[in-house]
Amino acid sequence: MKIEKLCNFYASKYHLSMILLEYLKEKNNKKVKVITFFQDEIEDEIKILIDKYKYDINNIEEIDFKMTKNIYDKEINFSKNNIFIVEGDLNYINDANEYILDNLKKMTNAKIINCYNFSHQKLYMKEIINKSDKILFTSGEKVID
């Protein structure tokens, strides 16, 4: 099992939506299962950006951009390669990560993308970055040196 942790810092829901759409566009043809945990939904922002910029993402309909009210009620259907997108405050993200790691199967490769609102988490950025393997930007993933 290989688990890769990414962090992302966003300024607004539109900023987060744009980053995720660009990232998912890149992953469009690969066989990955995207599972989300959102403390604040971004479904409206995603729809607006898809309509405005005509994103051609085949698997976007399968991705749930709504709020996950109870982390522990979320059913995880595993495939060989999973991408988990987690958005929220520090406690929400920590709880979701713990739930994901507790439920991962041994034969699963996974990426966990933890998305933090910059204005709420700027005091903890160094700690967050130190716990991550990569940072996700609009332009893609960057390995943390």
The domain spans of the chain are 2-143
pLDDT number for residue 125: 94
Residue 133: alpha-carbon gap to chain centroid: 14
Q: What is the pLDDT of residue 29?
A: 62
**Where would I find the H helices in the chain?**
13-26, 43-53, 90-103, 118-121, 125-130
Q: Which fold has domain 2-143?
A: Rossmann fold (3.40.50)
**The pLDDT value given to residue 107:** 67
pLDDT digits (tens, 9 = 90+) for 15-69: 999 999 999 887 766 678 899 999 999 999 999 999 898 877 776 778 999 999 9
User: What pairs with residue 113 in β-bridges?
Assistant: 6, 85
